[in-house]
Amino acid sequence: MSSTTPSTADDAAVPERSDFIRDTIRADVADGLEEVVTRFPPEPNGYLHIGHAKSIGLNFGVADDFGGRCNLRFDDTNPEAEEQEFAQAITEDLAWLGFSPDRVLYASDYFEQLYAWAEDLIEAGLAYVDDQDAETISEQRGGYGRPGVDSPYRDRSVEENLTLFRGMRAGQFPDGEKVLRAKIDMQHDVMQLRDPVLYRIRRVPHDRTGTDWIIYPTYDWAHGQSDAIEGITHSLCTLEFADHRPLYDWCLNHLELPHGKPEQTEFARLNLTHTVMSKRVLARLVADGVVDGWDDPRMPTLRGMRRRGYPPAAIRAFIDHIGVAKTNSMHDIELLESFIRTHHNAHALRRMGVMDPLKVVITNWPEGQEDALEAVNNPEDEAAGTRQVPFSGELWIERDDFMVDPPKKFYRLSPGTEVRLRGGYLITATDAELDESGEVVQVNCTYDPETRGGQAPDGRKVKSTMHWVSAGHAADVTVHEYDRLFSEPNPGALDDPMDGLNPDSKRTFTAKVEPAAVETPPGEVIQFERVGYFVADAQEPRTFHKVVGLRDEWARIQKRRQNN
Ligand code: ATP
Ligand code: MG
């Protein structure tokens, strides 16, 4: 999506979108900034989720709006948790979402430069090797209103620091015995500036650099400098990094940079009701078997959403719609779902499928006769054409579309009422057959042969149109229907988010569907009329996942809020 054509302040596309970040960038461009360069910097320690999609949409969107570039940079400075497998998955998910990075880069490629800069800092008297353990260092940092305590090693000479730091790299000390710290100010109001740790000793092989390194830079030493190496102009990150910005600037201000100095700007994380975005909690859901993996259709991961039948275009439209803000907030998951529904309403082919089948026998249907009725594939899209749906004297209808003894406003099928079978005939129920427990097992009906296609020649009206499937032609398919993964609206706010889980977030059953539904290509979404949208599983034949229902829950929520 990011273009490679060079742009200048004059020919930069005029951005349509406006927000506090784009307004700042527009001012920078007006001040003569030649090219806007951004990056999306995931740590390859998990799969991307819808929160990452917000960051992606912003970084790539900004680059696109200003005719600039956006890199994918793996922030792989922490060897314990990171794996190439995740990097591969992130690359795939980014492409699936519809974005292509200008360059794919790894912070680990900068280890040598980061190390050289650390030596520069030592030589400038701005960093020292500390022999204290992590706990002591953390203790001495103090807190707001609590003074910091200088390390007894703070005033080592440049020569001694250089020798020790080189010794750290060369493997002369065990893990954790020494760290490199910036020498800033142990009394600073900004805690991050109280001599932060820049390097740790960790004999953990790195996925890309193997055993080349046994010292690894911290986030604070790696991130801004990686931005600087790549010529990033605007480093957009989430609000929790606001506290780190003074340190980000401090590091860059004390180094010789190859390009201009990048500028960090923070924006609010995306939070959605009834789910969590924390990788730690998502990993627990997988490990504890609450879900069937990172790509479970209930997961807020991009992989989960892909299996669930969420189209990338609808996710992008949602991300654009919510925009960026400076304060954290919670968005209703129903809003995301409304984007999914709107997309499928325009594109999904209509099919008939009965989720909870009840047998209907048409007693006056000529024995052995079959009919094929023409049905519209998508009323929203004439080009989608029509199909033939087989009809016969034995049908399946939805169990809750029939009642023996209905209340007043029940207009669907009941003894004596006439209803329309969609695209088919008008039928009238005569009686129902019950089993010993009183449950209806069969409804007997008569049909009016004059009403083929659904209209009565005498113009008489019926109040209800129902979906159906010819029993002799129906195929059995497995349907997975999902509810909220967390019944709790904001599980992240609980002491243990797992306490907010919905114990019944998945229901699996067999449905009866018309033959055309079975032909749905893997990964494609159809609408089962009157029921909802369903995606054909990418691997399992005759298996569908419910994407979303037909009712616009978001409109309902908004109305309720207006009335309050
Ligand atoms: P976690 O803390 O769960 O491990 P993370 O934020 O550290 O997640 P990264 O892989 O480091 O995950 O994130 C890559 C980028 O995506 C970062 O710039 C991060 O700020 C951004 N990001 C992560 N989660 C969200 C979110 N919910 N909303 C917006 N941006 C996000
Ligand atoms: Mg992170």
- Give the nearest ligand 1 atom to 55 CA: 30
Give the model confidence (pLDDT) of 239-289 as tens digits: 999 999 999 999 999 999 999 999 999 999 999 999 999 999 999 999 999
558 — pLDDT class (breaks 50, 70, 90):
confident
DSSP annotation of 402 reads B
- Give the nearest ligand 1 atom to 240 CA: 20
Q: Which of 200, 279, 351, 546 is catalytic?
A: 279
Q: Which of 55, 99, 333 to mutate to test the pocket of ligand 1 (most atoms within 8 A of CB)?
A: 55
Residue 14's pLDDT is what?
52
- Report how far ligand 1's centroid is from the alpha carbon of 251 (Å): 22
What angle in degrees, to the nearest 10, is found between the helix axes of 84-97 and 50-65?
60
CATH number of 20-109+221-329: 3.40.50.620
563 — pLDDT class (breaks 50, 70, 90):
confident
Q: Which residues contact 43 (CB under 8 A, 6 or more apart)?
A: 74, 75, 76, 78, 81, 82
DSSP string, 331-399: E-HHHHHHHHHHHHHHHPEEE-EESSEEEEEETTSPTT--EEEEEES-TT-GGG-EEEEEE-SEEEEEG
In the chain, CATH 3.40.50.620 sits at: 20-109+221-329
Residue 328's pLDDT is what?
87
Neighbours of 1 (CB within 10 A): 15
Is 21 strand, coil or helix?
helix
- Which H or E element spans position 251? helix 245-253
Atom 25 (ligand 1) nearest CA? 51
Residue 329's pLDDT is what?
84
- Report how far ligand 2's centroid is from the alpha carbon of 105 (Å): 16
Which of these ranges, 168-172, 444-448, 556-560, has the smallest mean pLDDT? 556-560
Residue 16's pLDDT is what?
73
- Alpha carbon distance 397, 389 (integer Å): 15
Give the model confidence (pLDDT) of 490-515 as tens digits: 999 999 999 999 999 999 999 999 99
Identify the sign of the CA torsion 79, 85, 86, 90: positive
- Give the nearest ligand 1 atom to 270 CA: 28
Give 353-467's CATH code, choosing from 3.30.830.10, 3.40.50.300, 2.40.240.10, 2.40.50.140.
2.40.240.10
CA dist 401 → 205, 357, 390, 419 (Å): 62, 10, 21, 10
Q: Indicate if 80 belongs to the active site.
A: no
Question: Order of strands across the sheet with 37-40?
Answer: 37-40, 69-74, 104-106
Q: Which ligand is nearest to the CA of 328?
A: 1
Provide the pairing of β-strand 525-528 with 532-536: antiparallel
Q: Is 44 in the pocket of ligand 1 (CB under 6 A)?
A: no
- Report how far ligand 2's centroid is from the alpha carbon of 442 (Å): 58
Residue 5's pLDDT is what?
41
User: For residues 187 and 562, which has the higher predicted lDDT (pLDDT)?
Assistant: 187
Q: Is 73 in the pocket of ligand 1 (CB under 6 A)?
A: no
Report whether pLDDT(7) > 90: no
Q: Is 55 in the pocket of ligand 1 (CB under 6 A)?
A: yes
- Give the nearest ligand 1 atom to 269 CA: 28
Residue 561's pLDDT is what?
86
Superfamily of domain 111-218: Glutamyl-tRNA Synthetase; Domain 3 (3.90.800.10)
Residue 330's pLDDT is what?
93
Residue 4's pLDDT is what?
39
Q: Which of 238, 240, 329 to mutate to test the pocket of ligand 1 (most atoms within 8 A of CB)?
A: 238
Per DSSP, helices labelled H in 31-77 are: 50-65
- Alpha carbon distance 255, 271 (integer Å): 36
In the chain, CATH 3.90.800.10 sits at: 111-218
- Report how far ligand 1's centroid is from the alpha carbon of 81 (Å): 15
Q: In terms of Cα–Cα distance, which of 105, 117, 114, 279 is closest to 208? A: 105
Q: Degrees (nearest 5) of the Cα angle 481, 292, 79?
A: 140
DSSP string, 449-492: GGGTTS--TT----S-EE--EETTT-EEEEEEEE--SBSSS-GG
Q: Is 497 in the pocket of ligand 1 (CB under 6 A)?
A: no
CA dist 22 → 68, 159, 180, 323 (Å): 13, 46, 37, 11
Q: Is 255 in the pocket of ligand 1 (CB under 6 A)?
A: no
Residue 275's pLDDT is what?
98
DSSP string, 111-162: HHHHHHHHHHHHHTT-EEEE-S-HHHHHHHT-BTTB-----TTTT--HHHHH
What is the pLDDT averaged over residues 9-17?
56
Please write down the HEC assignment for all residues of 525-560.
Answer: EEEECCCEEEEECCCCCCEEEEEEECCCHHHHHHHH
Report whether pLDDT(10) > 70: no
Atom 23 (ligand 1) nearest CA? 52
Tokens matching residue 503 = 């114990």
Report whether pLDDT(6) > 70: no
Q: Which ligand is nearest to the CA of 54?
A: 1
Structural Rg of the chain based on CA atoms: 31
Residue 8's pLDDT is what?
45
Is 416 strand, coil or helix?
coil
Question: Order of strands across the sheet with 469-470?
Answer: 465-466, 418-421, 426-434, 440-447, 357-362, 394-398, 469-470
Give the model confidence (pLDDT) of 76-124 as tens digits: 999 988 788 999 999 999 999 999 999 999 999 999 999 999 999 999 9
Q: Is 341 in the pocket of ligand 1 (CB under 6 A)?
A: no
Q: Which of 22, 26, 39, 43 is catalytic?
A: 43
Which of these ranges, 40-44, 322-326, 465-469, 516-520, has the smallest mean pLDDT? 322-326
Is 515 strand, coil or helix?
helix
Neighbours of 59 (CB within 10 A): 26
- Give the nearest ligand 1 atom to 56 CA: 16
pTM of the model: 0.94
Give the model confidence (pLDDT) of 354-391 as tens digits: 999 999 999 999 999 999 999 999 999 999 999 999 99
Which percentage of the chain shows pLDDT scores above 70? 97
- Report how far ligand 1's centroid is from the alpha carbon of 521 (Å): 34
Atom 9 (ligand 1) nearest CA? 42
Q: Indicate if 506 belongs to the active site.
A: no
Q: Indicate if 43 belongs to the active site.
A: yes
Q: Which of 141, 202, 269, 452 is catalytic?
A: 269
- Alpha carbon distance 327, 239 (integer Å): 8
Q: Which ligand is nearest to the CA of 56?
A: 1
Q: Which ligand is nearest to the CA of 219?
A: 2
In the chain, CATH 2.40.240.10 sits at: 353-467
Residue 500's pLDDT is what?
98
CA dist 162 → 157, 220, 360 (Å): 9, 21, 87
Q: Which residues contact 521 (CB under 8 A, 6 or more apart)?
A: 536
Give the HSE-up count for residue 103: Cα atoms under 13 Å, Cβ half-sphere.
Answer: 12
